[in-house]
Amino acid sequence: MTLNQYQMQDPTMQYPKITNDGSLQSEPGLDATLNPKADLGETTYQGAERLKGRKALITGGDSGIGAATAIAFAREGADVAIGYLPEEEADAKKIIAEIEAAGQKALALPGDIKDEAFCQKLVADTVKEFGSIDILVNNAGKQEFEADLQQLTTEHFTDTFVTNVFAIFWITKAAVPHMPAGASIINTTSIQSYQPSPGLLDYASTKGAITSFTKSLAKMLVEKGIRVNAVAPGPIWTPLQPSHGQPPEKLKEFGQQVPLGRPGQPAELAPSYVFLASQESSYITAEVIGVTGGNHLL
């Protein structure tokens, strides 16, 4: 997929609607096998040194929104560490190569953020390699569709909360002592925090928690000069969706219900993370930026 995302154009036509036969991937999903492919900004994102000299840690940085953000951060001048599951190594290698191609240091950190000890190691290894963490992006998440409340197991519900909420707490708590004044924390919440869908009860609940966590943490850390914000994506075409994040019938017309009439691409999310990470957003904290295709957050 090649296009000029900087050229003025009709946003409803900027990317095609997703044509998918409803085929599912096993969890966790991979960009390497995603069909159709997502735009991570590999051939489009142009940096302007907004993050020159910064050190960033991104969870879920191997694919989807996290991968697009990693590419953008590197092209803006940041060294980037990415956390990901070992099963996602194929995707991670590609993003590590993109970071290095931008002339920046890259650090691959495989492991499972459901493990508190790994979350602490994720931070420790980043600090050991980079010296500090100037930008923390808590992006990794679990989404698994289940329409029947009686089939939503305690294990499923717990796994979603540990991955999406507890891990953010563990990673952030470990990272803050290594974050200087001027640092930025960016959490990935969701339109599901504001307009929850049936079938995503556990996921939507965690995203509501992340939104509140973001706003409360921002007030807690403001005296340290650390800003905390979030991005709330709408329907974005990533491996999260076909790896049981949506049922097959919803994949066939994924994202077409929003006002813009199509799903978003990861490359359309990355600039929001860059903005919140940069000094250009110095007067913004405790805020959520919606990238939803026109669906409202409130």
Predicted local confidence at residue 265, as pLDDT: 96
CATH architecture of 47-290: 3-Layer(aba) Sandwich (3.40)
Q: Per-residue DSSP letters for 247-295?
A: -HHHHTTTTTTSTTSS-B-GGGTHHHHHHHHSGGGTT--S-EEEESTT-
Read off the pLDDT band of 3 (50, 70, 90).
low
Number of H helices, E strands in the chain: 8, 7
Q: Give yes or no: 203 in active site.
A: yes
pTM: 0.95
How many CA atoms lie less than 13 Å away from 67 in the CB half-sphere? 29
Three-class SS state of 183? coil
Q: Could you state, in order of their start, the residue ranges of all structural domains in the chain?
A: 47-290
Q: Which of 15, 194, 203, 273 is catalytic?
A: 203
pLDDT tens track for 86-126: 999 999 999 999 999 999 999 999 999 999 999 999 999 99
pLDDT tens track for 158-181: 999 999 999 999 999 999 999 999
> What is the token pair recorded at 16?
């095609």
Note whether 80 and 277 are within 8 A (CB).
no
pLDDT > 90: what percent of the chain? 85
More confident: 1 or 22: 22
